[in-house]
Structures are given as structure tokens and as C-alpha cells.
Amino acid sequence: MNDNHYMQIALELAARGKGYTSPNPMVGAVVVKDGKIVGKGWHEKVGGPHAEVNAIDDAGDQAAGSTIYVTLEPCNHQGRTPPCTEKILSAGIQHVVMAMKDPNPDVSGGGADFLIQNGISVESGVCEAEARRLNESFIKYIRTKQPFVLLKCAATLDGRIATRTGDSKWVTGESSRKYVHELRHEMDAIMVGVNTVKTDNPSLTTRREDKKGVDPIRIVLDTQLSIPENSKLLQIPSGSDTLIITGNSKSSPKRTAIENMGVKIIDTALKDGRIDLNALMNQLGKTGITSLLIEGGAQVVASALQSGIVDKINFFYAPKILGGDDGVPMCSGPGPELMAQSIPVKDIHVRQFDNDIMIEGYLN
């Protein structure tokens, strides 16, 4: 077996932490001795032991003289848990293979340097592209202090997200919708516009079959604080918060009533009469939100794209055609005059969910 084989196993272990490790990265580790895996571990939840610790503990005495494969550079600083480099050293591990260096510019390379200085050989860059994709939210957040933004949209083949009456249940099939709940579980927060709340009255919670899911923080863009007080997402029992983002909401009986429900109302800057999404990203980053899923309607989708906050898209297309020009489009409002001014999408991947097609790509 080669290094890629063992690193792929470490990456699969790391992915088990999806939804549970934020704001920390997902990390997996495999301890190998004499060609055999003797220990496995991953970072299971924020505040818990790191992947290296779990893998070394799993290996026990067999860790001495072994190689450890880890998807991210071992930490060399005291955080909520002790440095993993010390654990590697005390276990007698001789060789460390890591997928990528720590993207945090304040600590990058420190762990590897410490290990090398203490006689342990270190190799980096094995399956690095896969490791970066796995932790793309953490990488952006640690460098910019802004959340990684994923824009999800579901449309017919002729680009409509609802009929002329606003009916959108359901554009895509059950398999696609199940995947969206996996995305909700993985992301820190989910954002929609107030018109979506008024039209669909969504819960914006995570529902996973046979598996417990983590609810994202629910965020509603509501410039004038017009959200109905009987909306589901203001009242549902959940372990996560609901945030209403408003532009100029002054003290009022309605604001007090909503805040008394345990909902947080956050005032932010306006731009052309709408929520300034770039300013909002800075605010959300300061609260520790590392990733954001946008599931908004046509106005929110257009605003998100035009503001340049979107990092990645998941566009689902169902094999349906409305066949008219009066349905709700994916984006509303003016677009560019020239095709050359369109937004390029790069690094495209296409996935099929039963009869639906999902196009995944990157904008930034």
C-alpha cells in the first residue's frame, strides 16, 4: 500500500466529523506499522481530542516506530487540548505524513518544524487537493475571518424555482432534498430572505434519516422587520439560534415581542435599500460562523451573486419544464449587459440524484 491509500483512509475518517467540529477543521489520522493499520482516529467534536490523539491511543504500544498519516499538520500550540506534536513525540512515532500544512498563517509550518527538530521525518502534500476541499470552509475562515458561502438553488430545466403562483413543492426529487439536509448538517448557518419565510414558512432545520443532525443557525434577511410573528422558525425548539438581520429597525413592540421569543435581531448596514451582504459577512465572521448556506429566493440569490460573497454553488436541475415566462426565475432584477460580464464558474463537478442533476462549482 502506498501513502495515498493510507491518506485516503484518513480523509474518510476526517469526514465523519462533518457538522461537529466547527470552528475547528475536520481531521483524520491513521497509524501504520509494518504495512498494517494499527490505529485510527478523527476529530469527533469541537473541544474533544484531536485526530492524532485518538489514533495514537487506538494504536497503543504499537505506535512506537510507526508512521502516522494525518490530513492536516499536527498542532504545536496549546488550545482546548494539548499540542498533538508532543503526543506524536512521546508515542515514539518515527515518520509523519500530512496532507497539508495548517492554513492558519500564524501557525503554519510550526508543527512540522517542531517534529523535524526532534528527529522525526515529515512529508507533506499527499492528497492535498482532497484535504483542502474537505476543509474549504475552515481554510477561508481562518484566513479572512469571513464565512465560506455556499449558494444552493433548485430549478426546472428552464430556470424556474417556482410557478407563477409561487408553488415550489417540489421542484426536485426526494434524493436531492435529502442531500440538502446533509448540507444543512455540515454548515454553521443557513440564510434566506423574508419573502421565502412569508411564502413557504420553512423551519430551516436539519432532518436526516436514521441519523441525528445538527441544526444550522437560521438567518433571515428582513430589512424592515416584516417577518410574521407566527413564523415557524421563530418558534421551533432547536439547539441553534435564529437571527433576524434588519437594516433600520427601531425599538418597537414587534421587535420586543420577537426578541422575547429568544430570537436575536441584528442591525447591519444597508446598500441601495437592501442589506449590505459584504458588511454582514464581516459581522457573521465575528460571531464565529465559519460557513453559510444560502437557500434564498430569487432576490437573495441575485444579491448574493452580485455582491461577490459566494464561494461555491450547488445548482440542482430537475427534469421538468414549466414552459412559460411567468414563473419565478432563479435570479430577479437586472443582470449584466454583455455575456462577457457573466460570473465564471470553475472547477465543475456534476452529480446525479435519481433524475436530478446537481452542478457544483466555485466562484472565488
Catalytic residue (choose from 52, 73, 186, 295): 52
Distance between CA atoms of residues 52 and 84, nearest Å: 6
Q: What are phi and psi of 225, to 5 degrees?
A: 50, 55
Q: How far is CA 61 from the centre of its chain?
A: 37
245 closest CA partner among 206, 192, 185: 192
31 closest CA partner among 86, 68, 72: 68
Q: How far is CA 259 from the centre of its chain?
A: 27
Q: What are phi and psi of 231, to 5 degrees?
A: -60, 140
- Residue 52 annotated to the active site: yes
Scanning the structure block, which residue is given the C-alpha cell 408553488? Answer: 167
**Left (φ > 0), alpha (ψ -120 to 50) or beta: where does 176 sit?**
alpha
What is the bridge-based pairing of β-strands 346-353 and 217-221? unpaired
Distance between CA atoms of residues 221 and 195, nearest Å: 9
Residues with active-site annotation: 52
